[in-house]
């Protein structure tokens, strides 16, 4: 499964949200699995969107045929778009599905990992981080995905910011030490996203 992450700075919020509704046509596209997103909690005017496709071939076909027509409705409503593509590797918790129901908050971490530490990083995600996140009552579903150049995306959906907050304060520092995260990671950024139900396709 292909995961697409789009980050942009919105300059016309009303126009952007109106244009966002045009993406309701996506379910008719071959290979499309789901899309959703919302507003950054920490960065004013920043929107994050995530879409899921069965494969790169289906995604490329959509980009060549229908993307420009759907995207035209949002032209001029945002600046500095950044797009990244990742290949799904494994679930965080079991039974990941590309849908956004049952969650109010999305958390993601985008990690650039030292090349010689990439396999260790993935292993620690599977053996240390995943069980901890899966054991948190408010965590709904998530995934671990990879892009060329030892870049990784860890995406998790949470019932609420309060539930995510409980997980963070209790465990993150201890887990980081156990997983030797600081030795693996060259750079990390991420965000907390308040999901907008009307953007879910």
CATH architecture of the domain formed by 2-199: 2-Layer Sandwich (3.30)
User: Tokens at residue 141, please?
Assistant: 């579903």
Q: Is pLDDT of 154 > 80? A: yes
For residue 78, pLDDT over 80 is answered with: yes
Question: Residue 192: which of 136, 80, 109, 130 has the closest Cα?
Answer: 109
Instruction: Give me the mean pLDDT over the 86-96 stretch.
Output: 92
The structure's pTM equals 0.94
Average pLDDT over residues 49-60: 97
Q: Is the pLDDT of residue 172 over 90?
A: no
Burial class (CB in 10 A: 0-12, 13-18, 19+), 157: buried
Contact 11, 77 (CB under 8 A): yes
The strand pair at 2-10 and 78-92 is best described as antiparallel
Q: Is 66 exposed, middle or buried (0-12, 13-18, 19+ CB in 10 A)?
A: middle
Residue scoring higher pLDDT (123 or 166): 123
Q: Is the pLDDT of residue 19 over 70?
A: yes
Tell me what pLDDT residue 169 has: 67
Question: Whose structure tokens read 């981080």?
Answer: 129
* pLDDT of the residue at 136: 86
Res 2 pLDDT > 90: yes
Q: Is the pLDDT of residue 109 over 70?
A: yes
Confidence of residue 170 (pLDDT cuts 50, 70, 90): low
| Domain boundaries of the chain, sorted by first residue | 2-199
According to the model, what pLDDT value does residue 1 have?
97
Residue ranges of E strands in the chain: 2-10, 32-40, 46-53, 78-92, 105-113, 139-147, 151-158, 185-195
Give me 186's structure tokens: 């060259």
pLDDT computed for residue 132 by the predictor: 87
| Contact present, 167 and 136 (Cβ < 8 Å) | yes
């Amino acid at each position: 499964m292909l995961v697409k992450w789009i980050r942009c700075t919105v300059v016309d919020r009303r126009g952007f949200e109106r244009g966002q509704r045009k993406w309701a046509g996506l379910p008719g596209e071959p290979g499309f699995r789901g899309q959703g997103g919302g507003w950054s909690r920490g960065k004013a005017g920043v929107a994050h969107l995530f879409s899921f496709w069965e494969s790169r071939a289906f995604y490329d076909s959509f980009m060549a045929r229908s993307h420009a027509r759907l995207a035209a409705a949002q032209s001029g409503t945002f600046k500095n778009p950044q797009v990244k593509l990742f290949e799904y590797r494994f679930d965080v918790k079991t039974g990941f599905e590309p849908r956004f129901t049952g969650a109010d908050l999305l958390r993601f971490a985008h990690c650039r990992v030292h090349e010689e530490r990439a396999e260790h990083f993935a292993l620690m995600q599977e053996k240390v981080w995943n069980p901890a996140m899966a054991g948190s009552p408010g965590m709904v579903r998530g995934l671990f995905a990879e892009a060329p150049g030892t870049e990784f995306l860890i995406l998790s959906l949470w019932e609420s910011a309060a539930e995510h907050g409980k997980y963070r304060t209790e465990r993150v520092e201890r887990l980081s030490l156990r997983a030797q995260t600081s030795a693996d990671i060259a750079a990390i950024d991420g965000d907390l996203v308040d999901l907008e139900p009307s953007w879910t396709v």
